[in-house]
Amino acid sequence: MQQQVILGKELLQVTLRRLCQEILENHGDFSNSVLIGLQPRGIYLAKRIQQILKEDLGKDIPLGELDITFHRDDFRRRGTPLRANATNVPFLVEGKKVVLVDDVLFTGRSVRAALDAMTAFGRPEKVELLALIDRCYTRELPIEADYVGKEINSMISQKVNVQWEGVDGGEEDKVWLVLSENG
């Protein structure tokens, strides 16, 4: 398996800090803002963001976990069925500014499903999207991120992996591109 590291541990930390500074610019003291991480992988990134914001603001920012399995547009159309994950949004988004958080922005379909899923929790004042990795030129829907960790050029057949320390046996924070499965 041929791999290419996109963000190593140190650089990833710098990127996360920069993303948090950008969010703070727009959301101030977060008095009317919430974070929502997308299941299954976006929640780990959202927790990191929450952690860093806590250091800066001295308080916990409300964080929800949103599962989009039941809102996907490829039900009965995809080969391998997906297992649903837990949704845990312990607040209403009515009138709130929401930052959706996902690790990789690819076709944009997950984000579309997330916007749909979120309507069950009210009408937000504003929704923004944060993506750690933005895979350029692979979008299938007109969706763009407001905060981007790093843009990369990749082929549809390639895969971006994000690993977090302590999650599923991951040893350190790292993002890499799988160039080909057998090469």
Site string (79-108) toward another protein, x via CB under 8 A: -xxxxxxxxx---x----------------
Q: Considering the complex, what minimum distance in angstroms separates the CB of residue 119 from another protein?
A: 7
Q: Do you find a cis peptide bond into 90, omega within 30 degrees of 0?
A: no
Q: Considering the complex, what minimum distance in angstroms separates the CB of residue 115 from another protein?
A: 12
Q: What share of the chain is helix, strand, coil (3-state, %, to 5)?
A: 30, 30, 40
Q: Considering the complex, what minimum distance in angstroms separates the CB of residue 75 from another protein?
A: 6
Q: How many residues bind another protein (CB under 8 A)?
A: 22
Q: Which of residues 119-138 bind another protein (CB under 8 A)?
A: 119-122
Strand order, beta sheet including 174-180? 2-7, 174-180, 159-163
What token pair was written down for 135? 């895979």
Nearest alpha-carbon partner for 35 in 129, 117, 123: 129
Of 121 and 147, CB closest to another protein = 121
Contact 64, 38 (CB under 8 A): no
Q: Considering the complex, what minimum distance in angstroms separates the CB of residue 114 from another protein?
A: 13
Q: Which of 13, 51, 109, 116 binds another protein (CB under 8 A)?
A: 116
132-142 exposure pattern, b = at least 16 Cβ within 10 A, e = fewer: bbbbeebbeee
Q: Which of residues 62-81 bind another protein (CB under 8 A)?
A: 67, 69-71, 75-76, 80-81
Residues that bind another protein in the complex, under the rule CB under 8 A: 67, 69-71, 75-76, 80-88, 92, 116-117, 119-122
